[in-house]
């Protein structure tokens, strides 16, 4: 039984998000949660409607998490990894048996995935701000993403900065980028398919 409706209002979610941005500006990638237009672009880029296993890095207040759950198949699984304890608490309150909400650092991605014995993720979605991460940590996360994805698996990153493009090139080659202007701020949406198909 799934219930992906928010347990707090949209306004409350935006306020909490803004509060956490002020406390942790290098950890939170934006001042407000993603718009529904950005969420839709992310879902389409990742092909969520047909996947069995999805990983989300940086769930924030859970708006994109809920959008993924609404779009993915009933027999799929979503592992959502969030480093911020306040955000993690909000995401953990989502009542959906398909969701695994994990409090932790994306730098330990391989270890976290193995903890839950999940299948190979066909899609991996990231909203963590690669632009504010240390070079070594950012590369460690991208390397883990690349090694976890199967052939033709999909990595989608939504970012304000274009730094993720150069970080991914050694591991995943060149990706495709589009911009969602109906979001505050406008957001770059990058997509890579492992082994070069984009």
Residue labelled with tokens 């984009």: 198
Residue 174 C-alpha from the chain's centroid: 19
Identify whether the C-beta of residue 76 lies closer than 8 Å to the C-beta of residue 52.
yes
Superfamily for the 2-196 domain: Vaccinia Virus protein VP39 (3.40.50.150)
Termini Cα distance of the chain: 35
What is 53-76 written as a DSSP string? EEEEE--TTSHHHHHHHHHS-TT-
Domain map (residue ranges) of the chain: 2-196
pTM of the model: 0.84
Beta-carbon contacts of residue 19 (< 8 Å; ≥ 6 apart)? none
In tens digits, the chain (198 residues) has pLDDT values of 455 544 444 444 444 444 444 444 443 444 467 899 999 999 999 999 999 999 999 998 899 999 999 999 999 999 999 999 988 999 999 999 999 999 999 999 999 999 999 989 999 999 999 988 999 999 999 999 999 999 999 999 999 999 999 999 999 999 999 999 999 889 999 999 998 544
Residue 13 C-alpha from the chain's centroid: 17
Q: Cis peptide leading into 5, omega within 30 of 0? A: no
């Amino acid at each position: 039984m799934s219930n992906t409706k928010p347990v707090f209002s949209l306004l409350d979610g935006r306020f909490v998000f803004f509060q956490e941005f002020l406390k942790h500006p290098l950890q939170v990638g934006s001042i407000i949660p993603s718009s529904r237009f950005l969420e839709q672009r992310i879902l389409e880029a990742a092909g969520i409607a047909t996947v069995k296993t999805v990983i989300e890095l940086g769930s924030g207040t859970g708006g994109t998490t809920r959008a993924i759950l609404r779009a993915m198949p009933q027999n799929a699984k979503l592992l959502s990894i969030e480093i911020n304890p306040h955000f993690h608490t909000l995401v953990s309150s989502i009542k959906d048996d398909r969701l695994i909400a994990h409090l932790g650092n994306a730098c330990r991605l391989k270890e976290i995935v193995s903890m839950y014995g999940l299948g190979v993720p066909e899609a991996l979605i990231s909203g963590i701000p690669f632009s504010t991460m240390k070079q070594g940590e950012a590369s460690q996360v991208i390397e883990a993403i690349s090694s976890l994805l199967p052939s033709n698996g999909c990595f989608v990153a939504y970012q304000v900065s274009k730094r993720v493009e150069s970080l991914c090139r050694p591991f995943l080659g060149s990706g495709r980028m589009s911009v969602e202007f109906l979001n505050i701020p406008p957001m770059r949406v990058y997509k890579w398919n492992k082994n070069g198909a984009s």
